[in-house]
Amino acid sequence: MEPRFFDAHCHLDLMLSPDAAASESAALGLGLFDCGVNPRDFSAANERARRQPGIIAGIGLHPWWLADGRCGAAEVNLLCELASRERFIGEIGLDFSSRFAGTEGVQTQAFERLCQALSQHPLAGRVLSIHAVRAAGATLDILESSGLLKNDPNSPTIIFHWFSGTSDELVRARHAGSFFSINERMLATKRGREYARQIPLNRLLLETDAPAEQNKETTARQLVDSLARTSEVVAAIKKCDSRSIESAVLGNTHSIFDLR
């Protein structure tokens, strides 16, 4: 079934019933990028993706999990070991918001280690879904210094999920060839809507970042409805019809994720 929507950033593992959401997604023709938050959960997520068409499992280590101590050196080591062999990476990145003050060094060291591992083990078609809160510049610096931000067909595809950096950082990320996945909550802010206006259609993806809360009951139908609303808002911002947005986004999705 040709999907109408692809959720470029969500978390099945954080949903109350991940297997049920995965099965319903397949039934609805919804594709999704299931971004991991803990590398120890990757095996189960990967197995779920093997069972369900259209679901792609990413190995990740969310900076929140690192900052609050849920993950540590052992998980960073595991992430670097497994990710060096994997094509789909995420959620990874940095969060320098006040909530995580004092953990910038730990986060940076882990992200640098991962980027170096990926650079030393290049893989065609690799995709990175990146979290960067009050840290977009630092994130871009590390990607660049690791050789992952080259305008080169062999470089990984960089997706900034829910971009919230400065205008200058948005321009820098755009010029580096990055993609951007947009969700409803991003579009609830004036800055988020302005950024959506500035992001070219050929660099645009849709996401839900669901669930909003861990262990919250979440259905694939809710994901589809959220993506549809996001598409409609982006269409209004860009002064075109929602089908044009959906078509462009699906084209980007097929190119990035090599969907069949």
Tens-place pLDDT, residues 40-98:
999 999 999 999 989 999 999 999 999 999 999 999 999 999 999 999 999 999 999 99
Beta strand segments in the chain, E: 6-10, 31-35, 55-58, 88-95, 127-133, 157-161, 179-182, 204-206
The residue ranking higher by pLDDT, 1 or 236, is 236
Percent of the chain exceeding pLDDT 90 equals 93
Cα of 155 vs its chain's centroid, Å: 17
Question: Judging by beta carbons within 10 Å of its beta carbon (0-12, 13-18, 19+), is residue 201 exposed, middle or buried?
Answer: middle
Residue 51, Cβ density class (10 Å: 0-12 exposed, 13-18 middle, ≥19 buried): exposed
Instruction: List helix spans (H) across 17-101.
Output: 18-28, 42-51, 63-67, 73-83
Given a cut of 80, whether residue 4 has pLDDT beyond it is no
Q: Checking DSSP bridges between strand 6-10 and strand 157-161, what pairing results, if any?
A: unpaired
Task: Write the single-letter amino acid at 3.
Answer: P
> Could you tell me if 8 and 35 are in contact, meaning their C-beta atoms sit under 8 angstroms apart?
no
What SS3 state is found at 139? helix
Mean pLDDT of the chain: 95
Q: How far apart are CA 238 and CA 162, in angstroms?
A: 18
% helix / strand / coil in the chain, to the nearest 5?
Answer: 50, 15, 30
Reduced to 3 states, what is the DSSP secondary structure of residue 205?
strand
Q: For residues 205 and 31, what is the distance between their CA atoms, to the nearest angstrom?
A: 12
- Give the C-alpha separation, 93 to 171, whole Å: 19
Strand extents, DSSP E, 188-238: 204-206
Torsion of Cα atoms, 254 then 180 then 158 then 43, to 10°: -70
- Can you tell me the mean pLDDT for 1-30? 91
Would you say residue 153 has pLDDT above 90? Answer: no
Q: For residue 144, with 0-12 CB atoms within 10 Å meaning exposed, 13-18 middle and 19 or more buried, which class applies? A: middle
Residue 246 has pLDDT above 80, yes or no: yes
- Which pLDDT tens digit goes with each residue over 225-234? 999 999 999 9
CA pseudo-torsion sign 199, 139, 60, 119: positive
Upstream peptide bond of 184 is cis (omega within 30 degrees of 0): no
- Kindly report, residue by residue over 195-230, the tens digit of the pLDDT: 999 999 999 999 999 999 999 899 999 999 999 999
Does 260 score more than 70 pLDDT? no
Residue 235's pLDDT is 97
Higher pLDDT, 99 or 150: 99
CA distance 190 to 172: 20
The pLDDT of residue 2 is: 62
Element (H, E) at 242: helix 242-257
